[in-house]
Amino acid sequence: MTAPRARRRQSLGILGPTLGAIWIGFMLEPWLVVWASPPGVGRTVGLVAVALTVVGYVACLYGTRTYDVDPRAAWVFLVLFALCVALTSIRAQEHAFEGLVFLNVCAIFLFRSPLALVVAGVSATVTVVVPLVVGWDSAGNIVMIIVFTSAAVYAFMGLVEANRQLADAQDEVATLAATHERERLARDMHDVLGHSLTVIAVKADLATRMLRADPERGAAEVAEIQSLARTALSDVRGMIAHARHVTLGAELANCRAVLDSAGVEADLPGAIDIVPDEHRELFAWVVREGTTNVLRHAHASRVRVTLARDGVVVEDDGRGWAGGKGSGLLGLSERARAAGATVVTGRSPLGGFRLAVTLDPCQHLGRPGPRPTSKTRGTSRQTSPTDDRRTEPVLLEGSS
């Protein structure tokens, strides 16, 4: 919750009960009636009862605005409140029923449910029946006040609760949006800077060796490092502006150049025409992530990239699957889920690590895929490093 909204809610939480407390002036009438009655125990008890009614009403207004009351405690409070009204009626007679108006308001604040309307109905019935039984003057006007006041306060409390829920929902949406943005930045930082810095590190190692053996080639490598650094800076700016774009052809060319620099044999496709245009960006991210993993972790001598209409596979002959998922694979999983694809990781037939992304059949045929069911949510997994068999695609959370 933002600070201004919290302050506004706090001020309204004080203002509401304060406006309700203004109405205690209506208890002045039973007070004056009791005060004008003959001296005695009944008069003293009536005055104390009126005072306790006012105190109880104010305490209820301010005490229930910050926490919920146990139902049993609420019933005890209402019974004691009704007892004060009954004691007031010893001298105030039908005028004491004005206290029932405040009892019903307290019931609404305590229960905040239709049960409070039941209490109001009982109060209205008592206000009609008791004067008829004991011979007091009719309190029909108080009955009308009980009915309309209870309905108005109940509707107002419902409006306040709905507004509170709306404000909480807005806060939740803002929190989720901020979380999503942080996750996006973390994913993009890994995808953009992680790959670029890895390539720069490989190039720097090569340049260090070449400066001694072949200064001219070493200088060329240093110039390429400078170009890569500028490209990384441009990528960061694009990431901040949500304007990043990668292309499959460029990533394959970059993959070949980087792997050649690292002394890794690259078996790459010569054309990308088989891949539908709408899926080339996703496949480009797969190639980038696979290349980054090879350079960082695999210690491989050979890398193979296979393109198909419905998927892409990056595999190597390195030290293989180490278990778990880094931030890069998690970010790639999110991209795949958004595109209606699945990610499978495991052991490659080459002996190292295998990263595969496969489109849902409905996606690569150009039709929207089915929405995920509760059975497919949260079922992502990886294959065992000891399993050399090709694994079936496993749906990631929320994938189609």
| Boundaries of every domain in the chain | 3-173, 266-400
CA angle 327, 333, 339 (to 5 degrees): 145
What pLDDT score does 382 carry?
44
CB-based contact 205:302 (threshold 8 Å): no
The model's pTM is: 0.47
Phi-psi region of 369 (alpha: psi -120 to 50; beta: other; left: phi over 0): beta
Report the Cα 327 to chain-centroid distance in Å. 21
Q: How many CA atoms lie within 13 A of 171 on its CB side?
A: 13
CA distance 104 to 275: 71
Q: Does domain 266-400 have CATH number 3.30.565?
A: yes
Instruction: pLDDT tens for the chain, 400 residues: list them.
Output: 545 555 555 555 555 566 666 677 778 888 888 888 888 888 899 899 989 988 888 888 777 766 677 888 889 999 999 999 889 888 888 888 888 888 988 888 888 888 888 988 898 888 888 888 888 887 788 888 888 888 888 888 888 788 888 888 877 887 777 777 677 667 667 666 676 777 787 778 777 877 777 788 778 878 888 877 877 777 776 666 555 567 888 888 888 888 887 888 989 998 888 999 889 989 998 998 888 888 887 788 999 999 999 999 999 998 876 655 666 788 788 888 888 899 999 888 988 999 999 998 766 555 444 444 333 333 344 444 334 433 333 333 333 3
CB-based contact 331:286 (threshold 8 Å): no
Query: What is the side-by-side order of every strand in the sheet holding 353-359?
Result: 265-267, 302-308, 311-316, 353-359, 341-347
The DSSP element (H or E) to which 359 belongs, if any, is strand 353-359
**Beta-strand relationship, 353-359 and 341-347:** antiparallel
What pLDDT score does 370 carry?
43
CA distance 342 to 88: 75
What pLDDT score does 21 carry?
66
What pLDDT score does 393 carry?
37
CB-based contact 116:161 (threshold 8 Å): no
What pLDDT score does 192 carry?
65
What pLDDT score does 204 carry?
82
What pLDDT score does 255 carry?
87
What pLDDT score does 316 carry?
92
What pLDDT score does 259 carry?
86
